[in-house]
Amino acid sequence: IDVRVRPDAEAAGVEAADLLDAAVLGRGERVLGLATGSSPGPTYVELIRRHGGNPSSPYRSARAFLLDEYVGLAADHPERYARVIRREFTDAMGIDPGRVHSPDPDAADLEAACRDYDRAIAAAGGVGIQILGIGTDGHIAFNAPGTPFDEGTHLARLSGSTRRDNARFFGGDPDRVPESAVSQGIATILRARSIVVVATGEAKASIVARLLASEPTEDLPASVLHRHADVALVLDHAAAGELS
């Protein structure tokens, strides 16, 4: 894991944006794996600043696959990740909504929808560059501790700590955070050709230190990233605060 420490969240966003640009502009990657949540915010802001106004930006011909989607929110709920990503990133980048894909949490046959999602990613050529955040319990996407490394997209239960962490998006009330989500599995995520993990803020310092010190173990889902050949971990000083 290539660890890069920058002074603050904005500078970490610039660093992560450089890595995205290297993949998309430099290597010609056209399939983006996108995370929601707070961590990638400054990265998206920086990419929009660089490319949002450019009608011939290569990002406009990209496809994007989201990591996950809550189960049980109305289709027009503002916290549906399919809506969040349009609001925070893809619309301003000029990426057509038809090119932005997310797992379908409303499918009558959820297992079939999960298989279809993994197939759609493969049919698009696989994710060229995946952006990830890390949960304070070590989750990536919604793969909580204990999730088998070999699972593809699946129905995932949110842990109590994740629902508390995400309560800020639901009026501060953890009970309003959905109990489950459809999430890419660890096996899905590891198929991305390159991965950029962004972790910022003091609240991530402890999990970042544990992740870097850990062998790959299902007890700490993000530790699987040690098995991938092209992972950058972009931190700010606060998130790097417990590294020795």
Footprint on this chain of ligand F6R (rule: CB under 6 A):
35-39, 67-68, 133-135, 139-142
Please say which residue, 53 or 146, places its beta carbon nearer to ligand F6R: 146
The burial of 95, by beta-carbon neighbours within 10 Å (0-12 exposed, 13-18 middle, 19 or more buried), is given as: buried
Q: By beta-carbon distance, which residue lies closest to ligand F6R? A: 133
**What gap in Å lies between CA 141 and CA 138, rounded to an integer?**
10
Q: Which is nearer to ligand F6R, 57 or 134 (CB)?
A: 134
Q: From the CB of 9, what's the least distance to ligand F6R, in Å?
A: 10
* Residue in 101, 108, 24, 38 with CA at minimum distance from that of residue 71: 108
Minimum CB separation of residue 188 from ligand F6R in Å reads: 12
Nearer to ligand F6R, 57 or 130 (CB): 130
CB of 46 to ligand F6R, least distance (A): 16
Q: Which residues contact 61 (CB under 8 A, 6 or more apart)?
A: 30
Task: Report the nearest approach of ligand F6R to the CB of residue 108 (Å).
Answer: 24
| Shortest Cβ 226–ligand F6R spacing (Å) | 18
Report DSSP letters for 12-42, one per residue. HHHHHHHHHHIIIIIS---EEEE--SSTTHH
CB of 184 to ligand F6R, least distance (A): 8
Q: CB of 35: closest distance to ligand F6R in angstroms?
A: 4
Output 39 or 194, the one with its CB closest to ligand F6R: 39
d(C-alpha 122, C-alpha 226), whole Å: 23
DSSP-derived 3-state class of residue 11: helix
User: Which one, 36 or 90, has the nearer CB to ligand F6R?
Assistant: 36
Decide whether 37 or 128 has the Cβ nearer to ligand F6R: 37
Kindly state the DSSP code that residue 30 receives in the 8-state scheme: -
Question: Rounded distance, CA 63 to CA 69, Å?
Answer: 17
The total of other beta-carbon atoms located within 10 Å of residue 239's CB is: 28
Q: Which residue lies nearer to ligand F6R by CB, 119 or 168?
A: 168
Q: Return d(Cα 241, Cα 227) in angstroms, integer.
A: 24
**What are the Cα distances from residue 70, in Å, to 131, 132, 155, 180, 221?**
18, 17, 10, 6, 19
